[in-house]
């Protein structure tokens, strides 16, 4: 089992680390050589690696949050042994147990993680428990597939990343931004990095979902027997039960019943923002911001703003200067760069603005528009076929393969931790109502002390709950 393997790896938690298998920094040729795929057709594992404990080198997986999004993921993990299921909703747990009758069942994820034969955890609980489950699981040497977003405040994302950097020599992690797997994600990165739009300046990302809530659902009395409301709340403050939190009609959509409420989620900046900004993040190879400003609906202590526009100043790296990344949500949109480009026809999209052109994209398609008289494309260093960045293909499969050997995934918790720390700072700036300056190494807002204790900077937990356990 990987958790016992003894490779060593130096990790500096304050700095971004070199990207992994599908990194935009790594060509297809180099990727194939690194993984052994070029010569053998299958992955050569590092010596000393021990596979999963299950028969036939299968991973023993615990699914925490066993229905909803969890159910959507069954088809991607049922090649492995599902040895544990955990859900606070007894009906959901019973449905999961019908699919995986050999698995032990739990209501409390902390007890589930004590099961001795677990190799890996797939976690699909509400956002308010993501960082805790991730850290507790990595502390026990388990590989982790964590649904997005990685945390419900900047500090949580930062702590998950730090825990991962300490354990990266023995655990494989993947953040649930599965759209990353398609080739469009890598084509965008190549175009941007190889200068198709000249020098990169601004990146705009957006999502058009809205909500109309102004407060938590009202008290609706005692929860039904099949729902453990106390464990559903978990680390979040006491709050009355209401069945509306569970009123989603299709698996994987119930999150829209609770993720606008501050205790439980971060609305679209953490929801679809994770997916959209992932495409940008993959292309721009960014660290966290030095400055953050935001505008939107008036601050409401109960719910996240439906309309939000958050701008992040991201430091230069070795191939580009400082850039500005903007997330537009709930009606905010970047200006159309040309009259005939209608950005609002794209519900969730991104636009990269360079000195010689723009690239507009959704999850599946992209267009390049050279702009200005000097935009003759001679400066574009087009890749040859063998230089093309490999698409991940099977996103969950990449994590399973990584857990069995090379530990390399595209959306590990180093990459995703920096992205989610950044996005959560957008909600801090919205509450602060002023531009914030951020010390990346220290993880502190330097020009407004109060911002460092705002809930999307650092949440507080109910008694009995700890982030690191």
Ligand X SMILES: NC(=O)c1ccc[n+]([C@@H]2O[C@H](COP(=O)([O-])OP(=O)(O)OC[C@H]3O[C@@H](n4cnc5c(N)ncnc54)[C@H](O)[C@@H]3O)[C@@H](O)[C@H]2O)c1
Q: Is residue 178 part of the contact set for ligand X (CB under 6 A)?
A: yes
Distance CA 390, CA 438 (A): 34
- Comparing CB distances to ligand X, the nearer of 170 and 262 is 262
- Shortest spacing between CB 411 and ligand X, in angstroms: 11
3-state secondary structure of 8: coil
If the CB atoms of residues 94 and 343 are measured against ligand X, the closer one turns out to be 94
Q: SS3 of 141, please? A: coil
Contact string (CB under 6 A) for ligand X, positions 406-435, x = contact: ------------------------------
| Residue with smaller CB distance to ligand X, 178 or 422 | 178
Residue 441: closest CA among 324, 292, 290, 291: 290
Q: Which residue, 113 or 436, has its beta carbon nearer to ligand X?
A: 113
Which of 145, 206, 232, 352 contacts ligand X by CB under 6 A?
232
> What CA–CA distances, in Å, run from 13 to 17, 132, 162, 287, 440?
9, 18, 5, 12, 11
CA–CA gap between residue 219 and residue 10 (Å, rounded)? 50
Strand, helix or coil for residue 108? coil
* 464 conformational bin, left if phi > 0, alpha if psi -120 to 50, beta if neither: left
Q: Is 359 helix (H, G, I), strand (E, B) or coil?
A: strand
Of 21-29, 167-175, 228-236, 331-339, which segment contacts ligand X by CB under 6 A? 228-236
- Of the two residues 149 and 443, which places its CB atom closer to ligand X in the complex? 149
- How big is the site for ligand X, counted in residues (CB under 6 A)? 31
Nearer to ligand X, 231 or 448 (CB): 231
Q: Is 156 in the site for ligand X (CB under 6 A)?
A: no
Question: Does 234 contact ligand X by CB under 6 A?
Answer: yes
Which residues, other chains included, contact 10 with Cβ-Cβ below 8 Å and sequence gap of 6+?
none
148 makes contact with ligand X (CB under 6 A): yes
Residues in 80-119 that interact with ligand X by CB under 6 A:
86-89, 92, 109
Task: Please tell me whether residue 278 binds ligand X under the rule CB under 6 A.
Answer: no
Please, are residues 145 and 412 in contact by the beta-carbon 8 Å criterion? no
φ/ψ (deg, to 5) at 133? -60, -45
467 with 461: CB under 8 angstroms?
yes
**Which C-beta is closer to ligand X: that of 253 or that of 453?**
253
Q: Which 63-82 residues touch ligand X, going by CB under 6 A?
A: 64-70
Give 72 or 300: the residue with its C-beta nearer to ligand X.
72
The CB-of-298 to ligand X minimum distance in angstroms stands at 25
End-to-end CA distance of the chain: 21
Asked if 309 touches ligand X (CB under 6 A), the answer is no
Specify the residue for token string 């900077």. Answer: 457
Asked if 17 touches ligand X (CB under 6 A), the answer is: no
Q: By the criterion CB under 6 A, which residues form the site for ligand X?
A: 64-70, 86-89, 92, 109, 124-127, 129, 147-148, 176, 178, 231-232, 234, 248, 252-255, 271
């Amino acid at each position: 089992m990987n958790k016992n393997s003894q490779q060593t790896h130096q990790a500096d938690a304050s700095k971004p680390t070199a990207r992994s298998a599908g990194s935009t920094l790594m060509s297809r040729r180099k990727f194939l050589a690194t993984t052994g795929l070029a010569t053998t057709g299958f992955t050569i594992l590092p010596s000393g690696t021990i596979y999963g404990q299950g028969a036939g080198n299968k991973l023993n997986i615990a699914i925490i949050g066993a229905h909803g999004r969890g159910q959507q993921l069954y088809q991607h993990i049922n090649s492995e042994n599902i040895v544990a299921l955990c859900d606070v909703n007894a009906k959901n747990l019973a449905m999961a147990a019908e699919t995986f009758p050999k698995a032990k069942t739990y209501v409390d994820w902390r007890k589930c993680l004590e099961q001795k034969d677990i190799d890996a955890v797939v976690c699909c609980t509400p956002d308010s428990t993501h960082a805790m489950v991730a850290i507790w699981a990595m502390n026990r040497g388990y590989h982790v597939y964590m649904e997005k977003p990685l945390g419900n405040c900047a500090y949580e994302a930062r702590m998950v990343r730090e825990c991962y950097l300490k354990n990266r020599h023995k655990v494989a992690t993947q953040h649930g931004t599965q759209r990353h797997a398609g080739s469009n994600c890598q084509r965008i990165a190549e175009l941007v990095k190889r200068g198709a739009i000249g020098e990169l300046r601004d990146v705009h990302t957006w999502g058009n979902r809205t909500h109309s809530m102004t407060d938590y659902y009202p008290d609706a009395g005692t929860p039904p027997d099949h729902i453990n409301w106390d464990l559903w709340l978990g680390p979040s403050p006491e709050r009355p039960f209401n069945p509306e939190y569970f009123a989603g009609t299709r698996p994987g959509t119930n999150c829209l019943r609770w993720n606008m409420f501050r205790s439980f989620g971060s609305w679209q900046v953490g929801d679809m923002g994770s997916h959209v900004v992932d495409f940008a993040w993959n292309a721009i190879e960014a660290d966290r911001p030095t400055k953050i400003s935001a505008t939107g609906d008036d601050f409401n202590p109960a719910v996240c703003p439906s309309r939000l526009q958050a701008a992040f100043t991201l430091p230069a790296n070795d191939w580009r200067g400082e850039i500005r990344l903007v997330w537009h949500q709930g009606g905010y949109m970047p200006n159309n760069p040309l009259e005939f480009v209608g950005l609002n026809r794209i519900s969730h999209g991104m636009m990269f603005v360079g000195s010689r052109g723009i690239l507009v994209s959704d999850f599946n398609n992209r267009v390049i528009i050279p702009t200005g008289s000097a935009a003759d494309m001679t400066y574009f260093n087009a890749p040859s076929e063998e230089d093309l960045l490999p698409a991940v293909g099977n996103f969950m499969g990449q994590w399973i393969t990584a857990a069995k050997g090379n530990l390399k995934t595209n959306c590990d918790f180093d990459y995703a931790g920096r992205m989610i720390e950044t996005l959560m700072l957008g909600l801090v700036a919205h509450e602060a109502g002023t531009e914030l300056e951020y010390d990346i190494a220290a993880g502190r807002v330097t020009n407004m002390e109060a911002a460092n204790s705002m809930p999307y900077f650092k949440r507080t937990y109910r008694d009995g709950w700890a982030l690191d356990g």
